[in-house]
């Protein structure tokens, strides 16, 4: 009687690792989508009896969207912000309208990604990861296999992370229709690109 020893090759383990990477990033993306943006804004009542941003966290969505302490909060998700006085801005809110220190009324919003779009991007990422793992595992040329899994891993990672990164983009509009776009970590507030 002969015994067959099954072993998993290094190539198969690397392909499996890529699949786990995509699944982990998908879970993080879904969690970020469910939680919503972290505005980092505490709303208080001003001396004029209007809701204002009492504090704004410098690494949160409120700061990157142009909201500063002392700015008057006009609307939160299209509703009156009076009921939020003394509270932090919740993550379920996707848009805040405020009047900045110069008196300009601005609207900061975080784009929402639909569940179907998130599912399609995740399915595309899993497809890229699977294809990359298969080509890497059975490629006759080791260099070609490595390049293919590297490329497919990069595509899969980009597809899964894109919705989460999109939420961190700055979309601020003014009454003139100007939209300012920056990345919160890359560009400080004074160096925004106007598009």
Model pLDDT, residue 91: 83
Q: Which of 31, 76, 26, 15 is nearest to 51 (CA)?
A: 76
> Is it the case that residue 118 has pLDDT exceeding 80?
yes
At residue 70, φ and ψ (nearest 5 deg) are 95, -15
pLDDT score, position 126: 92
Q: What are phi and psi of 98, to 5 degrees?
A: -145, 160
Rounded-to-integer distance, Cα 88 and Cα 180, Å: 25
| Percentage, residues of the chain above pLDDT 90 | 27
**Domain regions of the chain by residue span:** 10-35+113-166, 41-109
Asked if pLDDT for residue 191 goes beyond 80, the answer is no
What dotted CATH number matches 41-109? 2.30.42
The structure's pTM equals 0.61
CA angle, 37 then 186 then 176, to 5°: 70
Nearest in space to 118 (alpha carbons), one of 26, 22, 11, 5? 26
Say what the pLDDT of residue 18 is.
87
Location of structure tokens 């006759």 = 140
Record the tokens describing residue 130, joined without a space: 């699977």
- Give the pLDDT score at 23: 87
Long-range CB pairs of 69-72 (<8 Å, 24+ gap) are: 70/101, 71/98, 71/99, 71/100, 71/101, 72/46, 72/98, 72/99
């Amino acid at each position: 009687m002969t015994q067959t020893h099954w072993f998993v090759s290094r190539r198969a383990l690397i392909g499996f690792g890529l699949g786990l990477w995509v699944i982990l990033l998908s879970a993080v993306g879904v969690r970020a989508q469910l939680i919503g943006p972290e505005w980092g804004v505490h709303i208080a009542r001003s001396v004029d009896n209007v809701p204002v941003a009492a504090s704004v966290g410098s690494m949160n969505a409120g700061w990157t969207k142009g909201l500063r302490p002392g700015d008057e909060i006009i609307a939160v998700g299209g509703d009156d912000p009076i009921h939020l006085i003394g509270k932090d801005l919740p993550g379920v809110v996707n848009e805040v309208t405020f009047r900045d220190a110069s008196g300009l009324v601005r609207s900061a919003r975080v784009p929402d990604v639909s569940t179907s779009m998130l599912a399609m991007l995740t399915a595309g990422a899993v497809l890229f990861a699977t294809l990359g793992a298969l080509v890497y595992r059975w490629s006759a040329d080791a260099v070609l296999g490595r390049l293919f899994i590297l490329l497919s891993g990069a595509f899969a990672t980009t597809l899964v992370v894109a919705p989460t990164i999109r939420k961190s983009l700055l979309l601020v509009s003014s009454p003139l229709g100007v939209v300012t776009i920056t990345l919160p970590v890359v560009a400080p507030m004074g160096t925004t690109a106007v598009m």
